[in-house]
C-alpha cells in the first residue's frame, strides 16, 4: 500500500471517531443544532440524523451548492454576530488557516455555543514543514501546485481553492487550546496526523522509506526540532463548560 492510501485510511478513522463522538454526545436529543463554520459546498463529517445544520460562508456560490444544510448564512466568521448559546455543536474544518483574525472567529464560536456544546476544529499545523512552506510561498505558487502537481486544472478559478492561507500565529494548535481553555473549554479529543494530500505528494516524488526518514531527520536538525515534516494537521474537539465563580 502506498503512503497516500495508508494515510487516507488513518484520516478516515480519525474523522469517523469524531463523527461517532458527535452522535454519542447528543444521542438522547430530539434535535441538535449544528453550525458549520466556513461550510463551503460540503462537509467531511457524518452528522447525526437528528441534526439541524446551519451553514455560514463568505461564498454565496458554495453555500448554494451545499445540499446538507438547512439554513444558509452569507457572512464572515470573523465579524458575524451569532446569538449567544444558539448551537449544540460548531464544526470549523480547514478554515482557521485562511482567516486574517482566527482568534475573533474562535471567540464568536465560544459565545454561540451552549453549555456542554462541542467545538470541532480541523486545521493544519503551523509547526509542520507543510505549514512553513504554506506561509513562506506566495499564493500564486499554491495555485500552480494544485494545478500542475495535483492535477486540479481549475484550481484558483472563481470560488475554487486553494484560498489565501496566512496561517496566523493565533491558529497554532497550542495557542487555540490555551485560548479556549481560558474560555472554560475542556479538550476531549486531540489528534495530530499526516494529511492524505501530503502523503500523496510524497508518493508522487518517491519520498518514502529511507528517503522520507532522512528528510524528516534533516528537517528536525535544521530547525532545531521546531518543525515536523510528517505531522501536518490536527483535529481538536473541545467541550464548553459552564463558568464557575469562586466566592470568598
Percent of the chain with pLDDT over 70: 97
Give the confidence band of 1 by pLDDT, cuts at 50, 70, 90.
low
**What is residue 2's predicted lDDT score, i.e. its pLDDT?**
76
Measured distance CA(115)–CA(129) in Å, rounded: 37
How far is residue 166 CA from its own chain's centroid?
A: 14
pLDDT at 245: 41
In terms of Cβ atoms closer than 10 Å to its own Cβ (0-12, 13-18, 19+), residue 214 is: exposed
Residue 247 scores a pLDDT above 50: no
Q: Is 97 helix (H, G, I), strand (E, B) or coil?
A: helix
DSSP 164: P
How large is the average pLDDT for residues 216-231?
A: 93
pLDDT band at 248 (very low <50, low <70, confident <90, very high): very low
The domain segmentation of the chain, as residue ranges, is 3-240
Task: pLDDT band for 194, please (50, 70, 90 cuts).
Answer: very high
pLDDT at 4 over 80: no
**3-240 CATH:** 3.40.50.150
Residue 156 has pLDDT above 50, yes or no: yes
pLDDT at 142 over 70: yes
Is pLDDT larger for residue 105 or for residue 200? 105
Confidence of residue 243 (pLDDT cuts 50, 70, 90): low
Whole-model pTM? 0.93
Amino acid at each position: 500500500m502506498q503512503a497516500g492510501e495508508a494515510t487516507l485510511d488513518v484520516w478516515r478513522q480519525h474523522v469517523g471517531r469524531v463523527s461517532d463522538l458527535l452522535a454519542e454526545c447528543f444521542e438522547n436529543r430530539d434535535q441538535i443544532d449544528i453550525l458549520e463554520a466556513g461550510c463551503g459546498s460540503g462537509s467531511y463529517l457524518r452528522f447525526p440524523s437528528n441534526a439541524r445544520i446551519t451553514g455560514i460562508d463568505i461564498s454565496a456560490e458554495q453555500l448554494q451548492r451545499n445540499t446538507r444544510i438547512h439554513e444558509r448564512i452569507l457572512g464572515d466568521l470573523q465579524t458575524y454576530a451569532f446569538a449567544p448559546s444558539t448551537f449544540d455543536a460548531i464544526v470549523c474544518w480547514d478554515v482557521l488557516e485562511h482567516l486574517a483574525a482566527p482568534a475573533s472567529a474562535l471567540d464568536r464560536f465560544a459565545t454561540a455555543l451552549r453549555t456542554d456544546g462541542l467545538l470541532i476544529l480541523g486545521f493544519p499545523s503551523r509547526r509542520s514543514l507543510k505549514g512553513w512552506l504554506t506561509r513562506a510561498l506566495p499564493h500564486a505558487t499554491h495555485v500552480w501546485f494544485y494545478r500542475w502537481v495535483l492535477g486540479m486544472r481549475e484550481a484558483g478559478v472563481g470560488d475554487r481553492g486553494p484560498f489565501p492561507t496566512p496561517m496566523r500565529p493565533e491558529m497554532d494548535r497550542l495557542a487555540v487550546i490555551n485560548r479556549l481553555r481560558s474560555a472554560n473549554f475542556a479538550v476531549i479529543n486531540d489528534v495530530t496526523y499526516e494529511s492524505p494530500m501530503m502523503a500523496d505528494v510524497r508518493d508522487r516524488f518517491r519520498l518514502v522509506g529511507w528517503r522520507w526518514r532522512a528528510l524528516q531527520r534533516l528537517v528536525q536538525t535544521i530547525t532545531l526540532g521546531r518543525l515536523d515534516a510528517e505531522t501536518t494537521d490536527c483535529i481538536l474537539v473541545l467541550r464548553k463548560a459552564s463558568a464557575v465563580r469562586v466566592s470568598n
